[in-house]
Amino acid sequence: MSLLAAAGIGIFNRSNIVTLNGGELETLQPEGTHVAVWEALDAWLPSQTAAQLIAGSLEIAGISLGECLNILLPGAGGAAVYSLSTMVFHWGLDLKQARADKHTREISSYDPHALFPVRNTADDAFNFTAILWKSFEPAGIDRYDEIDRHILRTALQHYFDQGHTISEGDYNRLPTEVRSIASFEFLTSSDFIHEHPLIIAARDNIEPAPPFAMLARAALLMRTATSVTRAALRKTGLLAPGFVRPWLTKYAADRAIVDEELPDIADELWHDIDDAITRIRTLQTDAGQRARTFTRWVAANDPNAAVPRLSEFERVALWSFAV
């Protein structure tokens, strides 16, 4: 919904509107949220406007993805930018499934195990959780070097699949900040070892969607949406000091993430997440040494409360918008 809002499309559960070029508002069909969001994304994401908005908003080490692609692909950056919307469209595929099967969606919301048994072990679940969190370890406000460099690499793959390459000379024109987190070999190699687990999981098209695939796509879609939203807020001046921070502080306090005030440095909200991941790893190791099965019950009853902290993914939004 935030992606659409940045494009002037408001979805408010049957009160849906779009802003026209002249600033006038036009009322859309009074459809429910899931249906309206998917139909709007289906119509908007394939457009050049969507691709340019995403490429101009999503940043790699502080440099827009669009600028990186134009540097790496002189004369063809526009085509690579356009392929971005296809990538983001795929990350939103679960919205299509939700629209197509309201009954399945409601079951998955209120009784998730009723669809099919949980086929992943506790080790699988927490290993994926660690990958998910590590992907969004903040390197600054709205900067996640680990996943961002992989998004750049993935955006280039469509171009490479057509038989094209990038030169080392063009690579060296990238700003130092980008080159420091994404080497030439990393960006150009087709080796599977360079693929990020979230990117791999997001490609799984089985229906109903497996939990890891759905979570991976949701995380990547969220990364895109937070960037687009932040860019829109910055453009309107609402990211100026004092505008957003009081709201973010209340948001975090209401969820017991902080007591009173948000820390000035994003890392301070990361440390206890890192500690929680380490704690889960310790529990897994202890279970292995005792020849016992590591279970969700063991993790949930840990007195260090690692599991509740690892469920606070709202922190990523705080890292994306804190000023």
* String of DSSP letters for 179-218: HTTS-HHHHH---GGGS-HHHHHHT---SSPPHHHHHHHH
Q: Does one domain contain both 62 and 88?
A: yes
Q: Measured in whole angstroms, how far is the alpha carbon of residue 13 from the centre of its chain?
A: 23
Contacts of 294 (CB under 8 A, 6+ apart): 121, 122, 123, 126, 283, 284, 287, 288
The number of folded domains in the chain is 3
pLDDT at 197: 92
In a domain, 136, yes or no: no
In a domain, 116, yes or no: yes
Q: Does one domain contain both 253 and 114?
A: no
Q: Does one domain contain both 232 and 256?
A: no
Question: Would you write out the chain's pLDDT as a tens digit for each of its 323 residues?
Answer: 777 888 788 888 778 788 777 677 777 777 777 777 777 877 777 777 888 888 888 899 999 998 998 898 887 666 666 666 677 766 766 656 555 555 555 555 555 555 556 667 889 999 999 999 999 998 877 789 999 999 999 888 877 877 778 889 999 999 999 999 999 999 998 776 778 999 888 888 777 777 888 888 889 888 988 898 888 888 888 877 678 888 888 888 888 888 877 777 667 889 889 999 999 999 999 888 887 888 888 888 888 878 888 988 988 888 888 65
Q: Does one domain contain both 75 and 18?
A: no
* CB contact at 8 A, 153 and 182: yes
Give the closest residue to 16 by CA, choosing from 2, 30, 4, 5: 30
Q: Does one domain contain both 53 and 109?
A: yes
Q: Does one domain contain both 180 and 107?
A: yes
Residue 101: phi, psi to the nearest 5?
-140, 85
Which among 210, 236, 262 is the end of a domain? 236
Residue 182: phi, psi to the nearest 5?
-140, 100
In a domain, 255, yes or no: yes
End-to-end CA distance of the chain, in Å? 23
Using DSSP, state whether 238 is helix, strand or coil: coil
Q: Does one domain contain both 162 and 260?
A: no
260 exposure class (CB count in 10 Å sphere: 0-12, 13-18, 19+): exposed
Q: Does one domain contain both 269 and 229?
A: no
In a domain, 40, yes or no: no
In a domain, 128, yes or no: no
Q: Does one domain contain both 191 and 301?
A: no
State the pTM of this model: 0.83
- Write out the residue range of the structural domain in which residue 265 sits: 242-323
Q: Does one domain contain both 113 and 53?
A: yes
In a domain, 129, yes or no: no
Identity of the amino acid at 280: I
